[in-house]
Chain A
C-alpha cells in the first residue's frame, strides 16, 4: 500500500507530460485528485501499509521497505496536504509542467518519510532533489542557483550514502528505521557525522545554509512552499528516526557543535530577516532561524524538547507553506516582492490580508496558533535539561521574529497604498481554498495540540 503513495504521484507526474502543454484544467484536477488520494489513503486504510521486499543480502541486508506508521504518518499527511494546496495554487505559464514536478516531488518525498530502510531512505533522499532542480532550471532567475542547490544537497547525499554503507557493514542491516539500537565503537561518531552533515545541509543549519536563501527566492512559490515546508524537514526527520535511535551517544559527543551552530542559525537568520527587503528572503531566513530552534531541541536530547520539536516541525510546515503561497499570490499580482515597492494591500484585498495575517502571526509564535505550542514546549524542555544559557539565547530570536514578521505584515498589508502597482484583485475562491486548509490546521493545532502531542510522544517510543 505504501508503494501506492510513492508510485502514484510519480507516475501521474510522468503521465502529465503527455497532456497538451497549454491545458491547465486537466493537470490541476489530476494533481489535486492524486494528492487527495495520497491524503485519504493512509487515513482510511486502517493499517500501516507495510511494503517490504528483500533488496540486498550481501554485504549487508537491505530491504525495499516502506510503511506509514508512527511519525511517518504525520509527515505523509502533511506532505499530501501541502502538495494539494500547492497544486491548487499553481497558476502560471506551463502549469502542466509545474504540477508534474510537484507530483514527482511528492512521490519522492513520500519515499523518504515512509522509508524503513536507510538505503531506501538514501535512495529517495537523492531523488527528491531532481524536481526542484528542474524547477530552478526552468523558472529560476539566476543561473547559479540551480547549481548551488544541487551541488550542496547532492554532496550531502553522497556523505549520507557513505555513512549508510558504513552503517550497513557495521550493523549488518540497514532495514532498521523504527527500531532502536545504540551503535557504539570508534566508528560510530564518524558515521553519525556523515549522516549529520547530510541532514544539516538539507535543514539547513549554519554554516551549511548558503544554498538556501537564493534557492527559496528563485524557485516559483508553489514549489518553494513544498521545499521549505517538507523537503527541509527531511533532515530533521532523519535526526529523529536515524540519529536519536542509533547514535544517541555520538549525538552527545558532537552536541555542543550542533547546539552552537543552531544558536548561530537562530540569531543570524533572525537578524538577516530583519534587514532584508525581499519578502521571500525574509521568510527564507526566518526558516533558518526557526529550524535552528528545532535542531537545538533535538540535540538537547530532552524528551519534552523533542516532542516540542515534532510539534514545531508540523507547525513550521504549515505556516511556511502558507506564507510562501501567499507571497506567491502577492508577487503574481504586483510583479514584485520587494518591501520597498509594496504597501497598503490590505485596504483593497481583505481576504488576502486576513490569510497573510494568520500565517504571519503563526510564524511569530502568537499563542493560540500552532507555532506557539512548539516554541514553548521546546524551550521548556531545553530549560529543564539544564541548558539555561542556550534556552535564554533562543528566546532572543523569538522576540526578533515578532519584529520581522510584523515588519513584513506592516510593509505589505498596511501603510499607504502605493499608486504605481498594477491590477489588484482579491483572492479568488480557488486561491483561498488553497491556503484555507493550512490556516485551519494552524488554528486547530494551536487550540488543540494534543493530536500532534500524541504523535510526538511516539518519538520517545522510537528511542
Chain B
C-alpha cells in the first residue's frame, strides 16, 4: 500500500493556488456554456475565485508551514506577497471590465488566473524547482496575454517578451543548475551553508541566478524589454504585469538574499544593489523622454523597483518589511494611475495612453485630472501619500545599514522623477489646451477602484502597517 507522504497541512498551504487555477478551468467551462454573456460572467467568476483564494491564504498568515519538504513555505512573507498578487489580479480584471472587452473574455480571464497562480507559487517558493515552475507558469501565460490586443504593437510586445524573458529564464536555469552543483540540494535553505560558499560554482551560479532575476525585475541594464512590452500589451495586462512579475521576482530575490551566508552575502549582493541604484537614476531619466503613458509608467516602475530592492540592502529584518510596505504602496499608486488611463481609453485600437490624451484634461474632466495628479504625486513621493513615507523608511534603513550612497541615489532619482511626473501634471492643467472631445466611459466600477486606491494610499501614510512576522524566509 502506498502511503501518502504529504499531510493536509501541505495541501492547505498551496490550496489558494489550486483555487485560482481551478477557477480558471471553471471560467473556461462557463465560457463554453454562456457565450452570449459578453464576458462579464467570466470576469465575475474570476474575481470570485481570486477573492476566495485571498481569504483562504490570509488564514495561513500566522502559521508558517514548510510544505512539501521545503518546496513551498506558506505563512508571513509568502502570504503578504500572495495577497499583493491577488489584489493586482482583481484590479486587472476590474480594468478589463472597465475598458472595452475583447471578444473571447473567458480565455483571457483563465490566463490571468493561471499567471496569478504562477506568481503565487513564486511568492512561497523555497526551492529552486518551485521557483522555476512558478516563473514559467507566470511567464507562459503572460506571453499570450501580451499578444492579445488587435494592435500591431501587441504582437511585437508578445514576441519581444517571449524572446527576452526566455533568455532570462535561461540564465536563471543555468544559475540554478550551478547552485545545485555547488550545494547538492535544490532547496534555497541549503545555500545558507557557509562551507558551500567557498565553491567557485556557487559564485558563478549565484551570479547567473541574480542576472536572471534582474531581468525579471527589469533592473538596469536588463530593463530594455519592459517599456516595449508594457506599451504593446493590453492596458489591464500592463497594470497586472507591472506589479505581479515584480512581486514574484522580488519574493525569490528576498528568499535568496536572506538565505545566503553573511560571508558571501556582501560580495554577491553588492552588484545587485549597485544596479538597483543605477535603476533609480536611469529609470527616472528614461521617463523624461516618454510620450506614452504606459511607457512612462514602465520607466517609473524600473525606478520604483530600484527603491524596493534598495530597502533590502543590508538584508535586515526591517528592510524586508519596508520593501513590502513600499511594494504595497507602489501597487496602489500604480494601479490607480492605470485605472485613470483605462478610463480615458476610447477604443481597443486606441488605448488613449498617448500623453496628448491628457492635454487639458483638467478643463474637461477636473475630477479625473485631480485623481491622476494625486497618483503621480504619490509616485514622486510627495506627502501625504504612502510614497513619501515609504521613501523615508527606505532612506532610514539605508542610512542604518551602511548604504548611504543608495540613499543619496534615491534622493537624486526622485528629484529627476519629479520633472517627468510634473510634465504630465502640467499638461493636464494647461489652460491653453485645444478642446478635444473626451470619451470617458461611464463606468462606476473604475471610479470605485480609483477611490479605493486613493483612500488606501493616504491611509497607509498615517497607519504604516508593516507586517512583522515575515522572517525567517527559509528554514
Contact = CB atoms under 8 A, between A and B. Distances in A.
A3 to B, nearest CB: 12
A151 B415 contact: yes
A60 B419 CA distance: 31
Contacts of A64: 462
Contacts of B408: 162
A161 B391 contact: yes
Nearest to A57: B464
Query: B391, B400, B431 — which one has the most chain A CB atoms within 10 A of its CB?
Result: B400
Contacts of B414: 158
Contacts of B403: none
B58 interface: no
Contact of B411 (A56, A123, A159): A159
A138 B395 contact: no
B431 A151 contact: no
B384 interface: yes
B411 A162 contact: yes
A58 B366 CA distance: 39
A137 interface: yes
Given A127-B382, A138-B431, A119 B392 contact: yes
Interface in B397-434: 397, 399-400, 407-408, 411, 414-415, 418-419, 422, 426, 429-431
Contact of B383 (A56, A127, A137, A168): A127
Nearest to A150: B422
B393 interface: yes
B396 interface: yes
7 contacts: A56-B393, A59-B318, A59-B396, A59-B397, A150-B422, A158-B411, A166-B395
A59 B384 contact: no
B388 interface: yes
Interface range on chain A: under 10, 10 to 19, 20 to 34, or 35 or more? Answer: 20 to 34
Interface residues of B, number: 30
A340 interface: no
Interface of A: 17, 55-56, 58-60, 64, 119, 122-124, 126-127, 130, 133-134, 137-138, 146-147, 150-151, 154-155, 158-159, 161-162, 164-166, 168-169
A154 B418 CA distance: 8
A323 to B, nearest CB: 28
Contacts of B388: 123, 126, 161
B383 A124 contact: yes
Contacts, number: 77
B411 A59 contact: no
Interface of B: 318, 366, 377, 382-384, 388, 391-393, 395-397, 399-400, 407-408, 411, 414-415, 418-419, 422, 426, 429-431, 462, 464, 466
B400 A59 contact: yes
Given A56-B464, A147-B419, A161-B411, A169 B396 contact: yes
B415 A158 contact: yes
B383 A126 contact: yes
Query: A58, A126, A134, A166 — which one has the most chain B CB atoms within 10 A of its CB?
Result: A58
A55 B408 CA distance: 25
Contacts of B430: 137
Contacts of A158: 411, 414-415
Contact of A58 (B318, B392, B426): B318
A168 B384 contact: no
A435 B407 CA distance: 46
Nearest to A53: B462
A169 B419 contact: no
A172 B422 CA distance: 34
A166 B399 contact: yes
B205 to A, nearest CB: 34
Contacts of A169: 396, 399-400
Contacts of B392: 119, 122, 161, 164-165
Contacts of A124: 383
Contacts of B377: 130
A162 B393 contact: no
B382 A126 contact: yes
A150 B418 CA distance: 9
A64 B384 CA distance: 12
Query: A119, A130, A134, A137 — which one has the most chain B CB atoms within 10 A of its CB?
Result: A137
A175 B393 CA distance: 16
A396 B359 CA distance: 50
Given A55-B464, A134-B429, A161-B411, 11 more contacts: A17-B366, A58-B466, A59-B397, A60-B396, A122-B383, A123-B384, A127-B383, A130-B377, A130-B382, A147-B419, A165-B396
A138 B418 contact: no
B415 A59 contact: no
